[in-house]
Structure 1
Amino acid sequence: MNAKSSRQILTIGLVICLTIVLHVETCPAQIMGGMRGQPSADYFAQRRAQFMEQMDSDSIAIIAAKKSLNGAGVADHKFKQDLAFYYLTGFEMPDAVCLIIPGGIDEFVMFVPPHRQPMRMPPSGMPGPMMGMGMMMGMPGMQMMMGRGGMGMIMGGQGMMGPTPLNPEIFYSTEQMEKILPFYLRGKTKVYGNSDDSVLRDKIINAAQGASLEFADPDPIITDLRVIKDELELTLLRRAIDITCEAQINVLKRAQPGMYEYEIEAIIEGTFFRNGSPRVGFTSICGSGPNTYELHYSRNTRQTEPGDMIVMDIGAEYGNYTADVTRTIPLDGKFSPEQRDIYEIVLKANQETIAIVRPGLDYGEINTTAQRVLAGGLHRLGFVEDPDLSWQVRLWTRHGVSHGIGLAVHEAATRSDRYSSGRRRGDNQLEVNSIFTVEPGIYISERGLERKPRDVSDDEWNTYIEKVTPLVEKYRYIGVRIEDDVLVTPEGHEIVSLKAPKTIEDIERIMNRKK
């Protein structure tokens, strides 16, 4: 054995050892938020194949990762990857760019920041060798891959340490993009791009070398693909929802008047972190008393008082997928008669709406059913003169009652709902393995009477205010929202968030145990 061969064997041995150490330390817990195991390279390759099937001919997708928060190309603990980029690559590194080229020599190409750049000798016809990190070992075809998924060697595009979602056919440094892009843009007339980064767009235009390019948004395609969840996605969502339900239960056991809203937030988010959720799916809403009126209240600074209700709209994230579960409770541990009046209307709307969920149902029926029940209840209490007077109903209900969940807390539940950038007529029916929220609410505050609807006359408005003001005083600061995550199944539906108590009896029973 000559000296060169010995050096090569020693180098390979050191890399394998380092790979194992880094793999244990950084993967899969960081990629999957504490989940044991990770999707295979084939999992994301299948997603890209579905995406490519819907791309136009002679097109290329240039999808950018989210920019790093610290400007150094390294993700800190608050970093969340661009959803389109993650969906198609599984790659958690910031500042990267991927190319997806249907029918190309390399269908999946990644550009990564220089300090994490792997190596590979270029294919025939490509400009220049790809150097990086000082790690070139003089072995053509070998590259080192380093990222949040761990470090691994790739020989000819195959992971020597096993499959990983970070296995494109080829890696380059982002510093080489301007030299390499022209090769992949040859003959292309359309670019699907998710970034509004003018610098990246200028690089693409320059790389086209005078050829005319049409830029298109990939979101309509990706949004469509994300509507129906696969088995892994549902596993991650179930875990995120279970953790969120446990947090709701922990609040029932520990909350009491006098606590600050941020103390209740701490109970919630501490439960998330202890159960493997690395971050919240969205800012936790813990609105008490007058803050129950705020739909997206997030300051969480008020000290609670006896007699307060508190709305907790929360969601743990797990493996990049987020739950969204809301419960409303009386901090005294017992509903007052007025609180019970409002709560029972909202609970009935929640339950009756969920009951109709089934494959093929028009998604619009979710909101229609909930609003009908809410309007009837408000009419019985006197807040609404006629259930069909929608302007009066809207004063107290304030929002729609459903949205899809997944990688984002608000995403499309059908192929044509309001969160779908590729909205298409006639595709608003619920499909098996779509998952979405059902979240009716009623919010009583004098603030509901601060703004007259434009289509209501002054006389009508003044008469209504005079009539309803005593009721507003009686039910003042009672805001209630009850939100469940519901999965469409072949047989009908499953309430995935069922573990979080929502009946008056269950809430009072758990809250009064601590006494």
Structure 2
Amino acid sequence: MKKIRICCLLILLFPSLIFPQTGQDFKNRRNNLKKLLKDNELIFLKSNPVKNRNSDIDYKYRQDSNFYYLTGITEPNSFLLITKKAVLKYDSNLQPVDEILFIQERNPYIEKVTGKMLGFEEAMKNYKFNIVLSNKKLNDILLQNLKNIGTVYINIAGRGKTTDSYYQLLKKIKEENSLKFDIKNISKFLGILRAIKSPSELECMQKAINITATAIREAMRSAEPGMYEYELEAVIEYVFRKMGAQRWGFPSIIGSGPNSCILHYQKNNRKIEDGDLILFDVGAEYNMYSADISRTIPANGKFSDRQKRIYNIVLKANEEAIKAVKPGITFTELNKIAQGIMAKGLYELGFIDKPDNIKAASKYTRHGISHSLGLDTHDAFSYGEFKTLKPSMVFTIEPGIYIPEEKIGIRIEDDILVTEDGYKVLSALAPKTVEEIEKLMTEKGIGNYKIK
């Protein structure tokens, strides 16, 4: 843990200093996964497909998080087979192995159009694979190895949807060859492994969080009545790219006035009015790892008394829940702390009948206060395995109060690392007290300069 603290401090002091993940990091993760498997179980993972936008234009590619976590590969048309022991057959003249990576063959024409492809030798060297084969060999080798398998674990994405083409391929192979294996979701295992972040993962996360906090600071400086929400979105996402983030981790939420009460608002097309609150919920993605920070500010630079009173209730809920973070506490306990504070505040404002009526308060608080954070904004996490928080977990604390009839939506979200004896606020660079926000908003931001 001392190493983790030193790494986080170095990144805060020297934001450009990042120690990339190595091939051995990915190899170690595959080895940890093998320890969770039984002898007759197989992991079969595929990369994300290229998604078409329209005509001959594709969306910018982003790898599947589970596939990246285990391989480091960022190309499409790639596949991975893993078993606990060396039982995977791929050549009758060679000994079986416990993992095989399949990738696309290099194509000179494609490389002229879109750039250099990975290739077999580079995949072996950079990501510590002993066997890398052409993806053209996948189906034959997969069929050959499924005959002695009891369970195949695959990605079942999108809330358990099983329409994926390779899920259907497995079903077809099973039926046509009278095989008896089960098909299950790999989240059972990766929710355990991905919950605990390594030092190299934390370095990437701290960089993403620092970039996001800096972007929020610039948006705070730039915000003023008369702007459109998309102008602040542009400021934020300019800073993301300027500071080295490859993309956002999720579509930026810039909700002003009534839109601050829409939890996952994405249109970002309203003209900001004097007296509005503006809710930012944004996150840069750096080297595949996402940040997730929310801040709420007054459009004109000064909170009204009413806005300030409600804001400070949410702020207290945020701060008190964070103070309680330590190994051994549960998400339920943290949520109860924050919800209790907000219920008491809502009672004092006259919204509910009793200071401890959390159920009645839920009309205004709407959501829980935490989720895991990492490769995904709502990261893989095994709530069944982890009843309490453990060191090196990263998650959010994000209480909120939403009063649509007053056009007041306030959410304050921080990214928290669990340490051996407590916590570290990774998103401390983003101002969140009334005084800090109002002071920063007196400064001019890049969004205030006219484009000539």
TM tier, shorter chain?
Answer: 0.7 to 0.9
Secondary structure at the aligned position of 2:180 is classed as: coil
Q: Is the 8 A contact 1:350 1:370 kept in 2?
A: yes
Larger Rg, first or second structure (1 or 2): 1
- Give the one of 47, 53, 61 matched to 2:35: 53
Question: What is the CA-CA distance between 1:197 and the residue it aligns to?
Answer: 5.2
Residue type of the alignment partner of 1:103: K
- What's 2:150 paired with? 189
For 1:118-158, what per-residue CA distance to the aligned partner results, in whole angstroms no more than 9, with x for missing partners? xxxxxxxxxxxxxxx79xxxxxxxxxxxx989646639x95
- Cα distance in 2 between the residues matched to 1:197 and 1:295: 29
- Cα distance in 1 between the residues matched to 2:287 and 2:30: 19
- What's 1:235 paired with? 203
- Cα distance in 1 between the residues matched to 2:371 and 2:301: 30
- Give the one of 103, 106, 109 matched to 2:100: 109
Secondary structure at the aligned position of 1:507 is classed as: helix
> Are 2:429 and 1:438 aligned?
no
Question: What is the CA-CA distance between 1:95 and the residue it aligns to?
Answer: 2.5
> Are 2:258 and 1:290 aligned?
yes
Secondary structure at the aligned position of 1:513 is classed as: coil
Equivalent residue runs for 1:28-427 within 5 Å: 38-70=20-52, 78-104=60-86, 105-114=96-105, 151=118, 154=121, 159=125, 164-165=126-127, 167-195=128-156, 196=162, 199-204=165-170, 209-411=177-379, 415-416=382-383, 423-424=384-385, 427=386
Question: What is the CA-CA distance between 1:115 and the residue it aligns to?
Answer: 5.2
Residue type of the alignment partner of 2:166: L
Question: What is the CA-CA distance between 1:89 and the residue it aligns to?
Answer: 1.0
Deviates more, 1:338-347 or 1:168-177: 168-177
Q: Is the 8 A contact 1:181 1:207 kept in 2?
A: no
The verdict on how the C-alpha distance between 1:477 and 1:43 changes in structure 2, with shifts beyond 3 A counting, is same
- Cα distance in 2 between the residues matched to 1:443 and 1:150: 48
Alpha-carbon RMSD across the aligned residues, in angstroms, is 2.6
The verdict on how the C-alpha distance between 1:40 and 1:513 changes in structure 2, with shifts beyond 3 A counting, is closer
Runs of at least 4 residues off by over 4 Å: 34-37, 74-77, 147-153, 205-208
Question: What is the CA-CA distance between 1:215 and the residue it aligns to?
Answer: 1.4
Residue type of the alignment partner of 1:52: K
Question: What is the CA-CA distance between 1:179 and the residue it aligns to?
Answer: 2.2
Secondary structure at the aligned position of 1:384 is classed as: coil
Q: Is the 8 A contact 1:69 1:75 kept in 2?
A: no
The verdict on how the C-alpha distance between 1:260 and 1:289 changes in structure 2, with shifts beyond 3 A counting, is same
Residue type of the alignment partner of 2:135: T
TM-score normalised by length of structure 1: 0.74
- Cα distance in 2 between the residues matched to 1:334 and 1:203: 59
- What's 2:413 paired with? 483
- Cα distance in 1 between the residues matched to 2:334 and 2:48: 34
Deviates more, 1:169-178 or 1:495-504: 169-178
The verdict on how the C-alpha distance between 1:37 and 1:186 changes in structure 2, with shifts beyond 3 A counting, is farther
Aligned residue-pair number:
409
Structure 1 regions of 5+ residues with no counterpart?
Answer: 1-33, 117-132, 135-146, 417-422, 447-475
Q: Is the 8 A contact 1:247 1:268 kept in 2?
A: yes
Q: Is the 8 A contact 1:244 1:323 kept in 2?
A: yes
- Cα distance in 2 between the residues matched to 1:214 and 1:168: 27
Question: What is the CA-CA distance between 1:318 and the residue it aligns to?
Answer: 0.5
- Cα distance in 2 between the residues matched to 1:397 and 1:302: 24
Question: What is the CA-CA distance between 1:69 and the residue it aligns to?
Answer: 1.3
- What's 2:13 paired with? none
By relative contact order (CA 8 Å, sep 6+), the higher-ranking structure is 2
Q: Is the 8 A contact 1:96 1:111 kept in 2?
A: yes
Question: What is the CA-CA distance between 1:181 and the residue it aligns to?
Answer: 2.0
- Cα distance in 1 between the residues matched to 2:358 and 2:200: 41
Q: Is the 8 A contact 2:50 2:59 kept in 1?
A: no
- Give the one of 414, 417, 426 matched to 1:496: 426
Deviates more, 1:85-94 or 1:284-293: 85-94
Structure 2 regions of 5+ residues with no counterpart?
Answer: 1-15, 87-95, 157-161, 446-452
For 1:147-171, what per-residue CA distance to the aligned partner results, in whole angstroms no more than 9, with x for missing partners? 989646639x953xxxx12x43223
- What's 2:438 paired with? 508
- What's 2:92 paired with? none
Residue type of the alignment partner of 2:136: E
